[in-house]
Chains A and B, each alone.
Chain A
Amino acid sequence: MAGLSLRSVKKSFGDVEVVHGVDLEIVDREFVVFVGPSGCGKSTLLRMIAGLEDITAGEIAIDGRVVNELDPKDRDIAMVFQDYALYPHMTVFENMAFSLRYRGIERGEIRRRVDEAARILDIEPYIARMPRQLSGGQRQRVAMGRAIVRDPKVFLFDEPLSNLDAKLRVQMRTEIKRLRERVATTTIYVTHDQVEAMTLADRIVILNHGRIEQIGTPEDVYDRPASTFVAGFIGAPPMNLLPATALPAERLSGARRPPQDLLVGVRPEHLVWAAGETPLIEGNASVVEPLGSDTLVSLDVAGQALVVRLPPRIVRRRGEAVRLTADPANLHFFDRTTGIRQTQ
């Protein structure tokens, strides 16, 4: 069990810098999720922590000890890969026991640890099978079992669920969450799926183009996105972003700067039907998508599509007039050119 520090970590492949100076402190037993679009450098960062990629500049420390020059095997980390990376020529048991054999652990202890992990993960019946005889979900469990038996200082997960179908993915997500209660090891979990990030993380690190956009708890990044990028990435459907000039000036009381410099952000679920009062936004529904529990309505405002989450049956078909308002506390302001949040 250990903390982990990244200090100005950079990575270049040849002349191309793909990670531009990342600083991060992770405390003991914390579950941190790296989230960001494909190609933003999540895996590269994780692989540097694992020791599978050289660190171009900066420092990585695990449990207070700088590991830049250490081989993966000496870093006391365990990693779960997107494609599971089970050894196809070994049984489930051998896969899980494999790393322990090279660490001088005696047979009885290996047996005990593997059995324990198999029990936790519900894979006892498959212990003698070969990986090709398992389903995707079972392979994923074995891959996690292989990490658990090691009892490492840090777990690293690289998009462990993205090869599973949607239903299994949700199921495994819950399972990982449950596993957290029993195996409270420091974890870094990489995903491009913001729902996974929100549901699993103690803290989320949002990456974009090899830089950290924001670090915070799921509530933080949802309630106070640091940039338009975060606003657009966290939440589904994402936050609506409009030029402040498209809204009536007297309603922008939170803004400290002239409307022409600002973008206003408002989440689909924070726009409410304006029954009596003057609306903040008016328009005609262009798309109506009933989801049962609520309805997503799109409308055009100042030439931009705006999405609203309304209770069912308020708007029924396209073309209907939509009148919306929002609590001023739920309006977010961003600099129009840099996209950075304007504090209020």
Chain B
Amino acid sequence: MRRSPGSPAHWPRHVIMIVVCFLMLVPFYWVIKTSLTGENIYAWPPRIIPVDPHLFNYVDVWYMIPFARYLLNSVIVTAMAIAGSLLFNVAAGYALTRHFPGRRWIVVLLLSCMLIPFQATIIPAYLVTSWLGVLDTWLGVALPLLSTIICIFIFKASFEAVPPSLIDAARVDGLGEWRIVTRILLPLSKSAIATNVILTFIWSWNSFLWPLIAIRSPDMQTLPLGLARFLSVMEDTTGALFAFVVLVLIPGLAIFLMAQKEFIRGLTSGATKG
């Protein structure tokens, strides 16, 4: 018989987990606490409980820089990156599950491209973006994330785990290629979708270097760029900085909490499916 979670034999394990959770949450707590007090982070002894918490730092952030505009830019760019990457990664992942001449070489090419860091390709990326005429636009910022090799392979692996007879059955049932993908493969690849969404979100939301290069106009800036600019205009930055960080973090946390179950399954599915 399995022991119930509340039984005495479980408490050492629970104590360990509680301690680990606590250690992981301390930095987050510190950020929130500081954002509410503006207390100098070098103050000694540090205070555990915030003294006189207030929201003035948040108000500062909102009014001293065009926060809403940056947020809008970030949201639009990230939404474009997520939508585009789903479309292109799914299509490419499905293509790689079919047989066609040269498929192996394309797989090898993609895998080797994964080894090249983005910083190394940033000049060609800039030139291509400029040639397409989308510098300083939302699309230009989203462009490098519209397809990511690792997510292509996540979709490929997920599609390959679907029994081939299911696809045969769908074909006999009268479905074309797009409907096979949308009606059969994608509903069975929820983890891969969640993984793609979360990874693209994180990459796009936190991206700093590329927007810095691709954007010139002040009102096209995304949140990470705004943060840098903000730091340069503030004098005592501590409280406002931490308030800014909290505001940037919230959307990411929300998305992750909504999708985490599928996300974790997506990252580990290779281990169980072999």
Contact = CB atoms under 8 A, between A and B. Distances in A.
A78 B172 contact: yes
Contacts of A167: none
A71 B187 CA distance: 24
B166 A87 contact: yes
Contacts of B179: 102
Contacts of A108: none
Interface in B130-172: 163, 165-166, 168-172
Interface string A111-154: 00000000000000000000000000000000000100000000
Dominant secondary structure of chain B at its interface with chain A:
helix
Contacts of B171: 51-52, 71-73
Interface string A63-80: 000000001110001110
Interface in A82-112: 82-83, 85, 87-89, 98-99, 102-103
Contacts of B188: 88-89
B184 A85 contact: no
A50 B187 contact: no
Contact of A102 (B163, B165, B174): B174
Contacts of A73: 171-175
Contacts of A72: 171-172, 174
Given A52-B172, A72-B171, A72-B172, A89 B165 contact: no
Q: Say whether chain A's binding surface is mostly helix, strand, loop, or mixed.
A: loop
Given A85-B163, A87-B166, A89-B187, A102 B172 contact: no
Given A88-B188, A89-B187, A81 B168 contact: yes
Q: Among B165, B171, B173, find the residue whose CB has the most chain A CB atoms closer than 10 A.
A: B173
A52 B173 contact: no
Interface string B31-50: 00000000000000000000
Nearest to A152: B172
B83 to A, nearest CB: 23
Nearest to B171: A72
A215 to B, nearest CB: 26
Contact of B174 (A83, A88, A89, A103): A103
Given A82-B165, A83-B165, A85-B166, A77 B172 contact: yes
A83 B163 contact: yes
A203 to B, nearest CB: 24
B183 to A, nearest CB: 8
A102 B172 CA distance: 11
Given A81-B165, A82-B165, A85-B169, A102 B187 contact: no
Nearest to A150: B173
B173 to A, nearest CB: 4
Interface in B164-212: 165-166, 168-175, 179, 184, 187-188
Contacts of B172: 50-52, 72-73, 77-79, 99
17 contacts: A50-B168, A72-B171, A72-B172, A72-B174, A73-B171, A73-B173, A78-B172, A79-B172, A81-B165, A85-B163, A85-B165, A85-B169, A87-B166, A88-B188, A89-B188, A98-B173, A99-B172
Interface of A: 47, 50-52, 71-73, 77-79, 81-83, 85, 87-89, 98-99, 102-103, 146
Interface of B: 163, 165-166, 168-175, 179, 184, 187-188
